[in-house]
Structure 1
C-alpha cells in the first residue's frame, strides 16, 4: 500500500499529499490500476484527520490522477489522463482564458514564414531539403549553428562539435541518453524546469536536488556550491543540469563569480555539465558560458525556438569531441535527423538578420510587460527582469500558491505554482511563475495580471481599485 513519508509533508497537508502522489505517478512508482489505501487507514498512518485525506484524494481526482470506484476504493487512473503542466490543451468550449502558465516566447512576433517559404520555393535547391541527410546535420547547417552559439551565447563553439537537434528539449534528452547510464545521479536546482522531473526518472536517472542560496528577501539565487560539494561527498553524482541564464522558474542569472564557484566543484568531482540555455539570446550582457569555463566537461544546448522559431523545432548542441559519435547515434536512433527544410529556414533567418530584428521586437514587449508587473506588485516579491520571458512572484507565507492558482483559474487565468517545479520533497518556497511571453495583446496581458492580483487579494481579504489598462 502506498504511503507518503509523514515527516516530509508540508502545510497545507492535503496539497502536500496530492503532490507526493503526483510525483510518484510521474516517477513510475505508482501505475494505472494501483489501489490507494482506504482514507481512514491512511489518515491513521499519517496522523492527520480523515478530512485531510478526503481533500487530498479529491484534489488528486480533480487532476485526473485517480479514480474512485464505489464499494471498491480509489485507484490510479490511466497515465494518459495526467497532463504535464506545460502541455497546451485545446480550448474546446470557446471560453475566454488567459495563459500566464506557459512560456511561448511571443510567437506572434516571429519572422514571416510565408515570405521565407516563397523565397525557398523559387530557389534551385529546394528539393534537396526533402531528402535524408546526416543525423548530426549538414556541414553548412552545423557551421551556422556554431555561429549562432558564438554570437548569441558568447560561447566558444566550433562546427565540428556542433550538432543539429529538433529543439532544446530534444537536446536535453540526447544529453541524458548519451552521457549517463541508468542509475547515475544528476544534480539539479531545487526549483527546476518541470520536464526534468519526469524525464530523468523515465531514463532511470536519479534526481539529486541541490539547495539554492537566498538573498535578504528570501528570493532564490544560484545553486549553492557548498551544498553541491556536500552532496558529492555523500552520493556518486555524475552530472549536473543547469539553466545558468534566466533560470526556469526563478529567473536568476548566475554571475561570473557564482559560475566560477560552481565550476570549481564540478571540476573537483569531474561532473558532466548539461548547460541548457533557451533564454540566453534575449539577454544583452552575456556571462561566461560553462563551455568556456569547463570545455571538456560541458554539453551546451542552445535553440532559437523562443527567439524566433518555436514551430520549426530546431536547436543546436555542442558536445565534447570524444562523445560526438554517441550523440550522432542518439539523434539517428531518436528521429534520424532534424528536418532539413526547417533547419534551412532557421539558418537563413540567423544569417540574414531576422533573428536580430525579432529579438529586438520581443525585448521591447518584455520590457513593457515587466514594468507593468513592477507597478502591480511590490519590488520585494517580484523576481525577474526586462529581458526575461517570465517572472517569479513570491506570495505571503500564510497563503498557498496552489490555492491562488485555483482561484485565478476560476477567473479564467492559468498560472503555475511552485510545486510544478519543485525537485525537493520539502521547501520554504511559496511562489508562482508568471509568463510574460504567451498572451498576444498588451491589453489582455494587463487584464490577466489584474485578475491574478485580484485572486491573491481575494484570499487576503483585500480589494484595490481596478487600474486603467493599456
Structure 2
C-alpha cells in the first residue's frame, strides 16, 4: 500500500501528502486503478490525525488525481496524468472572477482580424490558401518566419532551416518527437512550464530536474551549470529544455555569462538544446540565443502568439539542417500542416508593421501593471520586470503559497502557486506566479491584486477566509 516518507512531509501536512501523491503518479510509482490505503490506516502509519488524511484525499480529488468509490475505497483516477493547472481551477460560481493564473498575452489588444479578413477577401489569390501545402510551410511563409526570428529574437535564422508550426506548444512536441527516443533523459529547470511535466512522460522521456542559481534575496536565476554538469555524470541526459528569456515561471532572463557557462556544459556532453522563447519579442535588450552559441545542436522555437495572434496558432521552429526532414515528417504526422490561411494573416501582420505596433502597446500596459503590483507588494518579494507578462512573488513561510492560492480563489481570484511548476517532489520554494496579461481592464486588474493582497495578509494573521458575495 502507498505511503509517503513521513520525514519528508512539510506543513501543512495535508497539502504535502497530496503533493507527494501527485509526484508518485508523475514518476509512475502509482498508476491508474491502484488503491490507496484506508484513511485511518494511513493516518496511523504517518502519525497524523484522520482529519489530515481526509483533507489530503479531498485535495487529491480536487486535483483530479483520485476517485472515491463508495464502500470500496479511493483509487488512482484514469485522468491522473499531470495536466496543466489551468484546467484545474474553475471560476467560483456566483461571484466576479479575476484571472491572475492564465497567461493570455493581452489578447484584447491584438490587431483587428476583421480588417485583415476583408483585405484577404479582395485578394484574387486567396483561394490558394484553402489547399494542401507542404508540411513545413510554403517557401514564402518560411522566409517570413526566418525574418521574424532574426528581427525579434536576434537569432541567426535561415529560411531553409525554418519550419512553420501550429504555435509554440506544437513546436515543443514535434521537437521532442523528432530529436529524442523513448527512455531518453531530458534536463529541465526545477521550476518549469507545466505542460512539460506532462508532455515528456507522455512521450516516454525521463525528466531530470536541475536546480537554479539563487541570489541573496532567494530569487531564482538560470539553471545551474554546475548542477547540470553533475546531473550529466549521473544520468544519460540527451537534451536540455530551456526558456532563456523571461523563464516561466521565475521570469529570469539569462545573462550572457550564464548562457556561456551552460553552453560549455551542453557542448561538452553533446546535448541537444530545445530553446523555447515565447516571451523574447517583449524583451528590448536581446542576449545571444543558444542558436547563436550552439547552432548545430539547438532547436529554437518562437511564436508571435503572445504578441498578436494567439487564436491563429502560428509558430516557427529553426532546426539543425541534418534533421529537417525528421521535423517535417513530425509536423505532417501530427497535423499535416499549419493552416495556410492563418499563417498568411500572421505573415502580413509581421511584414506590415502590425506586430511592432501591437508589441509597443502591450509593453506600455505591462509597464503600468508591473508598477501597480510594486506599489501593492514589497519590491523585494517580486521577481519580474516591466517587459514580463507575469511576476514571480516570493512569500514568507507563514504565508504558504498553496493556502494563499486557495484563499484567493474563495475571493474570486485565480492565481498559481509554485506547486504547479515544480519538477521535484519537495522544494523550499514558496511563491506565486501572478499574470499581468489576461485581465483586460486596468480597474479589474487593480481589484484582483488588492484581493490577492487580502488573501496573503489573511494567511499571515491566521484569519478565516471569507468568500466574496456577488
TM-score, normalization by structure 2: 0.95
Alignment of 1:19-38 (within 5 A): 19-26=19-26, 29-38=29-38
Shift of 1:47: 4.1
Aligned equivalent of 2:57: 57
Aligned equivalent of 2:181: 181
Alignment of 1:306-325 (within 5 A): 306-325=306-325
Say if 1:81 and 1:255 are closer, same or farther in 2 by CA, change over 3 A. Answer: closer
Shift of 1:406: 0.5
Aligned 8 A contact 1:64 1:82 in 2 = no
CA RMSD of aligned residues (A): 1.9
Give ranges in structure 1 of 5+ residues lacking alignment. 464-470
Q: Secondary structure at the match of 2:241?
A: strand
Aligned equivalent of 2:437: 437
Segment drifting more, 422-431 vs 286-295: 422-431
Q: Give the Cα–Cα distance (whole angstroms) in 2 for the partners of residues 159 and 56 of structure 1.
A: 52
Q: Give the Cα–Cα distance (whole angstroms) in 1 for the partners of residues 416 and 92 of structure 2.
A: 21
Aligned equivalent of 1:195: 195
Aligned 8 A contact 2:92 2:409 in 1 = no
Aligned equivalent of 2:412: 412
Aligned 8 A contact 2:185 2:206 in 1 = yes
Alignment of 1:37-436 (within 5 A): 37-79=37-79, 84-87=84-87, 93=93, 95-436=95-436
Aligned 8 A contact 2:83 2:195 in 1 = no
Q: Secondary structure at the match of 1:187?
A: strand
Aligned equivalent of 1:467: none
Say if 1:83 and 1:233 are closer, same or farther in 2 by CA, change over 3 A. Answer: closer
Shift of 1:409: 0.3
Shift of 1:33: 3.3
Give ranges in structure 2 of 5+ residues lacking alignment. 464-470
Aligned 8 A contact 2:25 2:80 in 1 = no
Aligned 8 A contact 1:27 1:202 in 2 = no
Q: Give the Cα–Cα distance (whole angstroms) in 2 for the partners of residues 114 and 30 of structure 1.
A: 50
Q: Secondary structure at the match of 2:222?
A: strand
Shift of 1:426: 1.5
Q: Secondary structure at the match of 1:227?
A: helix
Aligned 8 A contact 2:381 2:393 in 1 = yes
Q: Give the Cα–Cα distance (whole angstroms) in 1 for the partners of residues 425 and 113 of structure 2.
A: 44
Q: Give the Cα–Cα distance (whole angstroms) in 2 for the partners of residues 452 and 367 of structure 1.
A: 20
Q: Give the Cα–Cα distance (whole angstroms) in 2 for the partners of residues 313 and 80 of structure 1.
A: 27
Q: Give the Cα–Cα distance (whole angstroms) in 2 for the partners of residues 461 and 41 of structure 1.
A: 34
Shift of 1:16: 1.6
Q: Give the Cα–Cα distance (whole angstroms) in 2 for the partners of residues 89 and 432 of structure 1.
A: 15
Shift of 1:67: 2.6
Shift of 1:38: 1.1
Say if 1:241 and 1:7 are closer, same or farther in 2 by CA, change over 3 A. Answer: farther
Aligned equivalent of 1:3: 3
Q: Secondary structure at the match of 1:194?
A: coil
Q: Give the Cα–Cα distance (whole angstroms) in 1 for the partners of residues 125 and 282 of structure 2.
A: 33
Aligned 8 A contact 1:31 1:79 in 2 = no
Shift of 1:83: 5.7
